[in-house]
Structure 1
Amino acid sequence: MTVDAEYVLPLRWTDDAGLDELVAYLTDLRDLIDVTVVDGSSPERFAAHARAIPAGVRHLPVDPWPGHNGKVAGVMTGLRGARHDRVVIADDDVRYDEGALRAVVGMLDTADLVRPQNVFVPAPWHARWDTGRTLLNRALGHDYPGTLALRRRIVIDAGGYDGDVLFENLELIRTVRAAGGRVVAADRIGVVRRPPEVRHFLRQRVRQAYDDFAQPARLLTELAVLPLVLLSVRRPRRLLAGIAVVVALAEFGRRRAGGRRLFAATAALWAPLWLAERAVCVWLALASRLRGGVRYSDGRLRRAATPLRELRRRRAEHASRAGATT
């Protein structure tokens, strides 16, 4: 039995090195769910993708959408053209198996948006490094995956979401919340994510740190890490105690919500390395902010995401204006 939902994959490639593996994934996926690839690649690559993508998978160009974040335009194109109300949005490196797909879509019976847990497979050194971030996120709340499942109608009725932000997944989550939707963190449902190439991983370090401007408390905490480390350099016991606390916190994140089934026993040991990286990159992100925003495509994006209270205020004003005209 096929899944009563749509799978939307926004795509914008400048290199087709992974095309054969993606096509193999889509070939299997099309037997489970209706699939739409929204392709913002160059005309030459778009044509090559159209030839390679298997029959039964819909391949669409990106429709115009306000803002500089091309992924938002791709997602909104897919949502507006979806043939189902239940939609799974996934980056091109996400790989669902049938069990995870059915579980996530099934949760939309009682939720408006579901955020599962991404797990890197395979796990080279840089994937294990970044898993440190994942475990700390799980310990302090929930991780932000490269895939979400949602009810299409709630986003369409909200007028879509902002395309001028960097942290587009958080913007989408907050848009659903501002519209009164129920958001569920499915931390027990692991969804495979392919690790990026090392060069791409390194390019993303400052950009990912810039996402913290959407979470001020986290931003201030991470900005404080580097000064605290520098003050502790001559006190190695204090430094070692801090490292131990970070590992323990990450291990708590690994153990909660069935995480031991998803993450390796040594995963928490990478958390101090990730935090050391973030302690430096968050200051570089601050410097980018002072220069007008982080580099994205051929320009800069200043905002990471819109505060939830602002989205709620805008929605209330829109509803008030709509009521005044009826």
Structure 2
Amino acid sequence: MRLDAEYLLPLRWDDDADLDDLVAYLEDLSSVVDVTVVDGSPAERFAAHARAFPVGVRHLPPREPGGGNGKARGVVTGLALSRHERVIVADDDVRHDRGTLTALAAEIGDAELVAPQNVFDPRPWHARWDTARSLLNRAGGSDYPGTYGIRRSALPSGYAVDVLFENLEMERTVRARGGRVRHCRDLFVPRRPPDARRFATQRVRQAYDSLAQPARLCVELAIAPTVLLARRRPGILVLLALATITAAEVGRRRGRGAAVFPRTAALWAPLWAAERAVTSWIALVLRVRGGVRYAGTRLPRAATPLRVLRRDARDAVAASSRGARS
């Protein structure tokens, strides 16, 4: 039986090296759920995708004007054109199956936005490195996955498409409109890791996301000065490393994570923290210089503060009420 939901994949590729794998995945998906690919790839690649994608896959260009974040433009376009109220948004490296699709679609019944937990499969060295970030996120609250379940009606006007951290922007916009956001830490969805080269290019961009989370940014900026002050006291450095590993292990065990994250996963946490000790300062410098480079443009904002989005939502409701009275 087909799911009463839409699978929305925002896409922008300059290289079709993984096209065969994506086509096979879309073939499987289209037998379970209605699939829409919003494709912002260059014209030559768009045409190649149109020829390669299965007949049952709806293939469209983004229609949302402007905005430097192509993924956000694709999501906003897809939500506006969705044929279903329940929409499962997923990056091109996410690999749902019928079980995870069904579970995520069911969760949308209890919230406007649902975030599962991505798990890298396979796990080369750089995927293990980045898994430490997910574990620390889980320890402190929730991770930000590459796939969400959302009610189309939760974002009738979309969300900002000129920010870098589009997942956080989407979550905050739903909250600002009074929607419920649930993080299902025990709903695990496989995700293909990037190659090592792309992994390297993501380091500073991921650190830039923290500019939208001031408390987290302060902690990350404090890592390097703390290490420098303690460099002559190796015992303190060891304690800091152990504390980081312990926090990551808390995240690994949270929400049945120990069943899917390897036992050694938390040991990578000090390496990730050392990376962030450097990249957070680079991100701060880039903000002062006008923003981070992304897909050929420069994005100054990581995400919009929740208080601003709530104010805008109140103003929109007030304007609508005035218009109705007049």
- When the two structures are superposed, what TM-score results if normalisation uses the length of structure 1? 0.98
1-side partners of 2:10 and 2:301: how far apart? 21
Give the deviation of 1:283 after TM superposition.
0.4
Q: 1:178 aligns with which of 176, 179, 183?
A: 176
SS in 1 for 2:155: helix
Residues in 2 aligned to 1:12 and 1:26: alpha-carbon distance in whole angstroms = 16
Secondary structure at the counterpart of residue 232 of structure 2 = coil
Report the Cα distance in structure 1 between the residues aligned to 2:55 and 2:316, rounded to whole angstroms.
42
Q: After superposition, where does 1:271-290 map in structure 2 within 5 Å? A: 271-290=269-288
Q: Does 1:49 align with 2:49?
A: yes
Which secondary structure does the structure 2 equivalent of 1:95 belong to? coil
- Identify the match of residue 219 of structure 1 among 209, 217, 220: 217
> What is the total number of aligned residue pairs between the two structures?
324
Q: How far, CA to CA, are the matches of 2:209 and 2:201 in structure 1?
A: 14
Code of the residue aligned with 1:171 in structure 2: it is: E
Aligned Cα RMSD in Å? 0.7
Question: Matches of 1:66 and 1:151 in 2, distance apart?
Answer: 24
Measured in 1, the distance between the counterparts of 2:158 and 2:247 equals: 36
Amino acid at match of 1:101: L
1:66 CA drift (Å): 3.5
Output the amino acid matched with 2:15.
D
Corresponding residue for 1:300? 298
How far does residue 194 in structure 1 lie from its aligned partner after superposition?
A: 0.3
What one-letter code is carried by the residue in structure 2 that aligns with 1:216?
A: P
* Amino acid in the other structure paired with 1:162: A
Shift of 1:90: 0.3
The gaps in structure 2 that reach 5 residues or longer are: none
More displaced 10-residue stretch of structure 1: 288-297 or 115-124? 288-297
Aligned residue number for residue 2 of structure 2: 2
After the TM superposition, which segments of 4 or more aligned residues of structure 1 sit over 6 Å from their partners?
none
Identity, % of aligned positions: 60
* 2:227 partner letter: V
| 2:111 maps to 1:144 | no
8 Å CA contact 1:65, 1:163 repeated in 2:
no
Q: Which runs of 5+ in 1 are unaligned?
A: none
Q: Which amino acid aligns with 1:49?
A: H
Structure 2 length-normalised TM: 0.98
> Relative to structure 2, which stretch is displaced further, 290-299 or 217-226?
290-299
TM-superposed CA distance for 1:325, in Å, is: 2.0
| Whole-Å separation in 2 of the counterparts to 1:247 and 1:112 | 34
User: What is the 5 A alignment of 1:165-244?
Assistant: 165-244=163-242
